[in-house]
Amino acid sequence: SQKIEQNSEALNIQEGKTATLTCNYTNYSPAYLQWYRQDPGRGPVFLLLIRENEKEKRKERLKVTFDTTLKQSLFHITASQPADSATYLCALEAGGYQKVTFGTGTKLQVIP
């Protein structure tokens, strides 16, 4: 069956360090993958999109990698700040009309 796995345990990291979040998937062949940020009680906010033929994408302090052989995406936040504390969701293209399937997310806590 299709599965998207994100570390369900919270990730605690010291301010200034690089946070790395993992998204693994099975039985998908996504044309693209997205990362979103979700704050408590709010809707997710889009961060980055990476296509299957792209290895890496950057936006300011954010970097996403996409390895279709390993079926894995890594999401990095460099020089992390307490304001980066949130839940981060990966989402895989799931066929037509921009349908995506979301992982359950990883909660990141940046400690001052």
Partner 1 sequence: SQTIHQWPATLVQPVGSPLSLECTVEGTSNPNLYWYRQAAGRGLQLLFYSVGIGQISSEVPQNLSASRPQDRQFILSSKKLLLSDSGFYLCAWSAQGVGPQHFGDGTRLSIL
Strand order in the sheet with 19-26: 3-6, 19-26, 72-77, 62-67, 56-59
Nearer to partner 1, 84 or 103 (CB): 103
| Residue 43 is a binding residue for partner 1 (CB under 8 A) | yes
Report the C-alpha gap between 6 and 3 in whole angstroms.
10
Which of 89, 92, 108, 110 contacts partner 1 by CB under 8 A? Answer: 89
| Residues 93/99, Cβ–Cβ less than 8 Å | yes
How far apart CA 105 and CA 35 sit, in angstroms, is: 10
Nearer to partner 1 (CB atom), residue 74 or residue 94: 94
Distances (CA, A) of 19 to 1, 62, 69, 102, 106: 30, 10, 23, 20, 11
100 binds partner 1 (CB under 8 A): yes
Shortest distance, position 22 Cβ to partner 1, whole Å: 15
Binding mask 1-40 for partner 1 (x = CB under 8 A): ---x--------------------------xx-x------
Where along the sequence are the contacts to partner 1 (CB under 8 A)?
4, 31-32, 34, 41-46, 49, 51, 89, 91, 93, 97-105
